[in-house]
Structure 1
Amino acid sequence: MVDAAFSWPTRVYWEDTDAGGVVYHAQYLAFLERARTEWMRAQGYGQELLRREYDLVFAVRAMQLDFLKPARLDDALEVSAGLQECRRASAIFAQAIHRGSELLLTAQVRVAALDAGAFRPRAIPPPLFDQLKALEQPAS
């Protein structure tokens, strides 16, 4: 298991930026996705395992982003992810992106639990739900 302050390091590459060397706004979504994916993997639930053993995938349902400061070419970033709330068929993650001690972005991301085959909403299976529920870090 990982500590409550899970973060995933990334670096800003040319492909992540606009012509001015500033991270393109949509690229932040990829950074956030990778951190959530690695958070799940650190808990023992990689995406392939969820699909294969639980017939489950998570898909982003809603996002709230607050862009505070720009990231730039070659910046070393830390992308954090924490489970704020686990519901029966969805989960809410609190995320942030830092450059050193500077907060660049905050995000709240709601993911929906879907049947992997039909892509229809479904409940998170009880053993997985119980384990995720125990990892909640409610907003303060």
Structure 2
Amino acid sequence: MFRWPISIYYEDTDAGGVVYHANYLKFFERARTECLRAIGVNQTQLLAEDIAFVVTRAELDFCRAARFEQNLLVETLVIEMKKASLTFQQRLVDHQGVVYCEGKIVVACITLTRMKPRAIPQNIVQELKSGS
């Protein structure tokens, strides 16, 4: 389980001070990026090698409204690994474990110039397996 802190800024909210629904996807994206960075995956290097990860599916459940100036955590866990895709379970929670939003995000590994699926590089597979 990877945890990444998120602070809710004014720009994340709507006129009522509640997090705008699309911003939960941004929080989850940042946490997945940091999760990969924590295991040594350099996405700039991947792009130079014509490799990218793209979201192919996102399912979100909005459980409770997050608000301006809250400090929360995104919990990220790889729950399925296939040859060319990863499925992440992610939750935005407070420090007592109260869930604000949870989702299942599927990302595919692609050859960027062709926009076609490709196998996840072995070094990434190994790091994800050793971290789980």
Q: Structure 2-normalised TM-score?
A: 0.91
2:61 maps to a residue whose letter is D
* Contact residue 86 and residue 133 of structure 1 kept, 8 A: no
* Contact residue 18 and residue 68 of structure 2 kept, 8 A: yes
Deviation at 1:135, TM superposition (A): 3.8
Kindly tell me the number of residue pairs found equivalent between the two proteins: 131
Give, in whole Å, the separation in 2 of the partners of 1:46 and 1:77. 25
Give, in whole Å, the separation in 1 of the partners of 2:14 and 2:64. 15
* Contact residue 41 and residue 124 of structure 2 kept, 8 A: no
User: Does residue 61 of structure 1 match 2:56?
Assistant: yes
* Contact residue 64 and residue 100 of structure 2 kept, 8 A: yes
Equivalent position to 1:51, from 47, 60, 69? 47
Give, in whole Å, the separation in 2 of the partners of 1:6 and 1:129. 16
* Contact residue 54 and residue 108 of structure 2 kept, 8 A: yes
Moved over 3 A (4+): 133-136
Equivalent position to 1:77, from 72, 79, 99? 72
Give, in whole Å, the separation in 2 of the partners of 1:96 and 1:75. 15
Deviation at 1:117, TM superposition (A): 2.2
Deviation at 1:103, TM superposition (A): 1.1
Equivalent residue for 1:9? 5
2:79 maps to a residue whose letter is Q
114-123 vs 124-133, which deviates more? 124-133
Equivalent position to 2:89, from 87, 91, 94? 94
- Partner of 2:116, secondary structure, is coil
User: Does residue 20 of structure 1 match 2:21?
Assistant: no
Deviation at 1:128, TM superposition (A): 2.9
Give, in whole Å, the separation in 2 of the partners of 1:133 and 1:57. 19
Equivalent position to 2:119, from 113, 123, 130? 123
